[in-house]
Structure formats: structure tokens, C-alpha cells
């Protein structure tokens, strides 16, 4: 949901996932490399992540899910993702979401943590397509 000035004060669950993915795809359409597009998208959502645990958890999961689509994961991106996912207070998040949404977040987070460990790691950004 957008209020005056374009600042997002309140997000719906699926809306935030969609907005993150749409922005990433928009940057990719500008012929940006996947890593640059993802970095710029995350930067655009920094203020949103600061709104609270709900927003931060969804942005971090959306970020991680896109990372999984890349052929390799930059080592600093993986470190950042794991650190931020570990910092999420799941009890506090449970209070902000419906049971269905909370179960979805847990499932996505668990899958993300499993799959990120299987991705090849890159130590130079210019090697990632």
C-alpha cells in the first residue's frame, strides 16, 4: 500500500514479495547483471526493512530466493543472508503474521537455508552472470 509521497507504510504479505521480485525483474530488464540488479533491489528496500520484523523477514526471504536462482552466490551475499536470517526473531514474527503466513515463512526460510549451502560460491563479483 502506498501513501502520499510514495512511501510504503503498510504492506500486505504477498504484495511485498511481489514488489521485491518486480523491482528485481525491472532492473534485470535494464540489462543489469543479476548481482547488480539484486543489490540495487535490496538497497531500494532498505527503508522498508527498517519498518519492522514483518517487512525485514519478507525482504530477506525474497532476496534469498532470488539468490538461489543465480548460478553462483557471492560469498559476502551468502554471509549477509545467513546473518540476517539468523537475527530474525521468529516468535515476534509469529505475532505479526497469520498462522498460514507464518508457516509459509518458516517453510521458505528452511528451504532457503538448505539450498543456499548447495550453491557454488564466487569470490569475485565479475564472474557471476
Question: Of 21, 124, 20, nearest to 72 (Cα)?
Answer: 124
Per-residue pLDDT tens digits of the chain, which is 129 residues long: 443 444 444 688 899 999 999 999 999 999 888 999 999 999 999 999 999 999 999 999 999 999 999 999 999 999 999 999 999 999 999 998 999 999 999 999 999 999 999 999 988 766 665
Question: Of 70, 90, 67, nearest to 78 (Cα)?
Answer: 67
Q: How far is CA 117 from the centre of its chain?
A: 17
* Residue 90 CB contacts under 8 Å (≥ 6 apart), including other chains: 106
Q: Which residue has the cell 502520499?
A: 4
Q: How far is CA 106 from the centre of its chain?
A: 14
**pTM of the predicted structure, to 2 decimals:** 0.88
What does R_g of the chain's alpha carbons equal in angstroms? Answer: 15
pLDDT at residue 128, as a whole number? 60
Amino acid at each position: 500500500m502506498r501513501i502520499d509521497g510514495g512511501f510504503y507504510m503498510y504492506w500486505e504479505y504477498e504484495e511485498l514479495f511481489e514488489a521485491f521480485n518486480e523491482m528485481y525483474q525491472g532492473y534485470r530488464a535494464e540489462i543489469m547483471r543479476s548481482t547488480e540488479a539484486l543489490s540495487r533491489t535490496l538497497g531500494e528496500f532498505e527503508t522498508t526493512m527498517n519498518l519492522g520484523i514483518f517487512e525485514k523477514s519478507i525482504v530477506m526471504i525474497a532476496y534469498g530466493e532470488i539468490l538461489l536462482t543465480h548460478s553462483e552466490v557471492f560469498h559476502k551475499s551468502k554471509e549477509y543472508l545467513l546473518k540476517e536470517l539468523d537475527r530474525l526473531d521468529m516468535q515476534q514474527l509469529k505475532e505479526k503474521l497469520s498462522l498460514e503466513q507464518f508457516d509459509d515463512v518458516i517453510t521458505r526460510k528452511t528451504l532457503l537455508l538448505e539450498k543456499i549451502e548447495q550453491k557454488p560460491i564466487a569470490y569475485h563479483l565479475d564472474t557471476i552472470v
